Amino acid sequence: MKELRENLQRKLLKSLKIIRTYDWLIDSYVLDFYVKDHWSEFPNSWQQVLENATPQDLCYILDFNDEMSTLKMWPLSLLTLKVLFKELCIKRRENETQSIDHFSPLLRHPKLTNIFAKGVKHKKRHELELMASTCAEMCQNSAVDFIVDFGAGIGHLARVLGFGYGIKVCCLEMQYQLNKQAEEIDEQMISLIKKYLPPKQAKMCRKPIHLNLCLTSTTTPEAFIRLIQKSLELNTDDYKFGIIGLHSCGDLAANLIHIFLNCKQAKFINLVGCCYMKLSINDTTHKAGGGYPLSQYLSQHSISFLSYEAREISCHAIEMYKQRLASSNYDCLKIHSFRAAAERIIVKHYPELRHSGLKSIKHSKNLQFEDYFYRAVVGLPVANISVENVMTAITERDLSRWWQIVVYYTLRLFFGPLIESIILYDRILLLIENGCTVNIKAVFKANISPRNHITTAVKNR
């Protein structure tokens, strides 16, 4: 345990020192690329190689599992970063491929599968099956009486666990309407189970319990326990439960960890985070309640700060972007160039409108910049600028440099896995500091579900 803790501390400091060195890139904005001439900020050695890079070269940059490329004389500093990232980042490829044989047979029942999948997209179905399988395994190893599912939505995961695995699940969701919808689907499931399953098998299925609760940093463990005991009609505190959160947004992940650590009845936690840019940041006084940093160790280091821009980068779907690069579908890569060219025009004529929110325009093969510009700035004074002041020689030059923006955007994404690893390592370290056995692994396929790690922790006492 001591060795693991020291290894995490070493990785965190090493990673944060790298982030501090490249804050100038990480904290910059794509839309300012032409206004601030971001390209000129890259080292000359990077410019010379990357100016003539191919989409396959950029894919190589974003893949930490690739061996060293022999096709280019890469800048040593860039190669060094790749080597360091391979050492420091949590692996994004799934550790093992789970066969459907590991899943509940009820999920494949010809008469029930449709209701399990009703309204569930492929990405969500992939996550539900693997998360439920992981939770079921944790329940067997920890022998808990029930699971509490935070942010349960309309109860998709709870139904897989309750009806598919026979696990008692208490769902907590802040939106009353979602709870009501979940209960309606549960009733439909019960009707089908009674109709198509033999009584002995049907008896094993457990209907989830749905409660309204908004968990915040001010929610005390005592208040949470009282709600659970009242709702489940528990007359004693002699029970054990597990906590699960599938894509716990922003501070919810941190709040779940604190509830887990401060409730003696909570024995394990399974957590998948997301939306790191919504994390509240603990200030220099390290007051409780923030979402990052959480660990005692990292809270003592001023170097731990992660900007909004850094945390936003860590949420990108890097594997999906690599697929775009690999397909050489250049048209869809040019949209950032259009936005940056529009920003230069806006700043020139209406500097007070810098960084204004524009209409979202989906790029299409034949989309021309002039059309994009006037559609994007609808409702702003800049919409009155003449075509002559939009389609200038400077604009044409900017648009011709679109590949530089693709390179720049790729290099910012390059740091995403490192930043996400810092956030996840911090959570792991907090759990270890509190005497837990912790594991993290890539369970979901990253090209389907970009936030693909499940952090699991079990109390040792």
Nearest in space to 432 (alpha carbons), one of 393, 453, 395, 459 = 459
Q: Name the class of domain 105-316+424-459.
A: alpha beta
Q: Answer positive or negative: Cα dihedral of 407, 409, 415, 421.
A: negative
pLDDT, one tens digit per residue, over 257-284 is 999 999 999 999 999 999 999 999 986 4
Q: Answer positive or negative: Cα dihedral of 111, 117, 122, 128.
A: negative
Nearest in space to 298 (alpha carbons), one of 182, 406, 428 = 428
84 vs 74, higher pLDDT? 84
Per-residue CA distances from 399 to 122, 171, 289, 321, 441 (Å): 37, 51, 45, 21, 42
Contact call for residues 82 and 64 (beta carbons, < 8 A): yes
Say whether pLDDT at 180 is over 90.
yes
Averaged pLDDT of the chain? 90
Helix axes 335-349 and 369-376, enclosed angle (nearest 10) = 60
Q: Give 146's strand partners.
A: 241
Q: Over the range 376-394, which residues count as b (16 or more CB within 10 Å of their CB) and which as e?
A: bbeebebeebeeeebbeee
340 vs 204, higher pLDDT? 340
Contact call for residues 440 and 90 (beta carbons, < 8 A): yes
Rounded percentage of the chain residues whose pLDDT exceeds 70: 94
- Which class for 291: exposed (0-12), middle (13-18), buried (19 or more C-beta within 10 A)? buried
Which pLDDT does position 102 carry in this prediction? 52
Integer Cα distance of 406 and 403 in angstroms: 5
Which pLDDT does position 47 carry in this prediction? 94
pLDDT, one tens digit per residue, over 215-243 is 888 889 999 999 899 888 998 889 999 99
**Read out DSSP for 117-169?**
HTT--HHHHHHHHHHHHHHHHHHHHHT-SEEEEET-TTSHHHHIIIIIH---E
- The domain spans of the chain are 21-93+329-415, 105-316+424-459
